Structure 1
Amino acid sequence: MDITSDTHSQHISRQFNHELEELKTHLMAMGGLVEKQVQDAVSSLLDADSALASRVVDNDRAVNDMQVKIDDECTRVLARRQPAASDLRLVLAVIRAASDLERIGDEASKIARNAIELVDGNNGTRGFVEVRNISEHVRHMMRDALTSFARFDTELAMQVVQEDERVDSEYQSAMRSLMTFMMEDARSISPVLGIMWILRALERVGDHANNLAEYVIYLVKGLDIRHIAPDDLNQELLDDSSTS
C-alpha cells in the first residue's frame, strides 16, 4: 500500500499518531540543524571566518545528541506499539534518515576543520569557486530530500536521486582541475589538498541526501531502489504504482 500525507491520521490511537508525527518533527529539526552546519562550514571557508568554523565543530555534539534522542524515541515506539506495514516503514525510515543526517554533520565538521587550517594559513582562494558551486548544489539536494520526507513526495525524491549523478560529475571535474593546478605549481599542493578534502566531504553530503530521498521512496512505495540503475528508476516506480 502506498503512503500519502493523510495515511498516519487514521489510527484509532491518537497518542500513537502523535508519536509518529513527533518522530517526523524531530527528524526535520535535526535536518534543519545539519543543513545549517553545512552552510556555516562552507561560509567559514569562503568568508575566512575561523571562529565560525570552530562553532561548527563544537555544534557537532548537538547533532549527535539529536540522533541519540530520535533513536531512543523510535525504539520506544517499536517496543510499545509493535507497528506493522506502513507505520513500521516510517519508523525504520526515520532511524535510517537520522543516521545519514548525523553523517552529514560529521562531513560539515570535516569541512570546518579544513577551513580553519586554510584560513589560518592564509592560502588564497584557489578552488573556492568549485566549493561554492558544489556546496550550493548539495544543500539544495538536502533541502529537497527533507521536504520530500515531510510531504511523502516521491516525485521530489526522484529529482534528488537524479541530481546526485550531476553532483558526482561536478565533483570529478573539479578534482581534475585541481590536480592539474597542483602539477603546474608544487607550492600549491598543501592548500589544494585541503580544498580537495572539502570537496570530497561535500560530495559525501550529496550521497547522504540521495540516501534520504531513497528512504522516502521506500517509505511511500515499499520499494528499495538502492541497487536499481538510475535509468531504470522511473519504470520501476511506474510498474510498482500500477500493481499497488
Structure 2
Amino acid sequence: MKELTTDHISQQFNNELERLRQHFLTMGGVVETQVQDAVQSLLDSNGSLAEDVKDKEATVNQLDGLIDEECTRILAKRQPAATDLRMILSISKAVGELERIGDEAKKIANLTLNLIDEGESPRGYVEINRIGQMVSRMIHDTLDAYARLDIAAAVKVAKQDRAIAQEYNTAMRSLVTYMMEDPRSISRVINVIWVLRALERIGDHSRYICQHLIFMVKGVDVRHMHINDLANELGEK
C-alpha cells in the first residue's frame, strides 16, 4: 500500500489503514474459498462441504461488521482526505460486494443440498464446472489486483465478465431447450439454472470490486463506463 498511502506523522494512522486493508483481503480470501467449495460441493454431491460453505457465512458477516466499524472510526477520528479518503470509501463499497459474493456462494450450497436430495445428477454440471472455474479465477485475480494496486490487472479482470456472461447465456439456451424436450427434468434443471445465475452474479460483483479499485487509485468513477471506454480512459489495453 506504499504507493497509495501518505507517510503520516502518526504511525498509528498508518497502522489503522494497513489493518483495514488486511482485514479486507482476509475477508476476500474467505469468500474466495466459499465460492470454490460451493461449486465443488455440487460437482461432488458433497453435502458436508456445502454445509461448511454455509457455516462460513458467520465469519464473513463478522469481518463485514469489523471493516465497517473500522471505516467509520477512521473517518470520524482522522478526517482523511485525498488518497486516504478514496481508499476508505473504496474498501467500504468493495466489502459490500464481497458480502454479496458470500451470499451467492451460500445460495449455491443450498441448491446443492436440494439437488443431492433429488438423487440424480441433472444436465448442466459441465457448464457449472466451466463457469465456476472462470468465476473462481476472476475472484482470485480481483483480490490479487487489489493487493498490488494493479490497474492493468483490474481492467483485464473486468473484461473477463463478458466471457462469463457469454458462457452463461449459452448454457441457459441449452438448458431451456432440454427442459422443453423433457418436461420431467424441469424441477432439477431449474435448480441448476439458479446455480448458474448465482455464478454469473459473482462475476458481476468481482467486476464491481475492480471498479472500486480503479476509483481508489485513479480517483475516476468508472462504474457506468463501457469496458472499452474504460480501457481507453485509463490507457490500458
Normalising by structure 2, what TM-score? Answer: 0.96
Please name the residue that 1:86 is paired with: 83
SS at match of 2:221: coil
| 8 Å contact from structure 2 (residues 154, 210) kept in 1 | yes
Whole-angstrom CA distance in 2 between matches of 1:5 and 1:149? 13
Amino acid at match of 2:107: K
| 8 Å contact from structure 1 (residues 5, 152) kept in 2 | no
| 1:207 partnered with 2:229 | no
Point out where structure 1 has 5 or more consecutive residues left out of the alignment. 240-244
Amino acid at match of 2:35: V
| 8 Å contact from structure 1 (residues 56, 109) kept in 2 | yes
| 8 Å contact from structure 2 (residues 6, 84) kept in 1 | no
Please name the residue that 1:130 is paired with: 127
Please name the residue that 2:234 is paired with: 237
Shift of 1:100: 0.5
Whole-angstrom CA distance in 1 between matches of 2:208 and 2:2? 20
The 5-angstrom pairing of residues 1-244 of structure 1 reads 5-8=2-5, 10-238=7-235
How many residue pairs get aligned? The number is 236
Shift of 1:171: 0.6
Amino acid at match of 1:31: G
| 8 Å contact from structure 2 (residues 4, 217) kept in 1 | no
Point out where structure 2 has 5 or more consecutive residues left out of the alignment. none
Shift of 1:52: 1.2
SS at match of 2:53: helix
Shift of 1:123: 2.1
| Aligned structure 1 segments of 4 or more residues deviating by more than 4 angstroms | none
Whole-angstrom CA distance in 2 between matches of 1:7 and 1:205? 27
Amino acid at match of 2:220: L
Amino acid at match of 2:65: V
The two structures, once aligned, show a CA RMSD in angstroms of 1.3
Shift of 1:222: 0.5
Whole-angstrom CA distance in 2 between matches of 1:15 and 1:130? 49
Whole-angstrom CA distance in 1 between matches of 2:74 and 2:180? 56
Whole-angstrom CA distance in 2 between matches of 1:93 and 1:14? 22
Shift of 1:237: 1.3
The superposition leaves residues 67-89 of structure 1 with CA deviations (integer Å, 9 ceiling, x where unpaired) of 00110011111011000000000
SS at match of 1:7: coil
Whole-angstrom CA distance in 2 between matches of 1:60 and 1:220? 30
Percent pairwise identity:
49
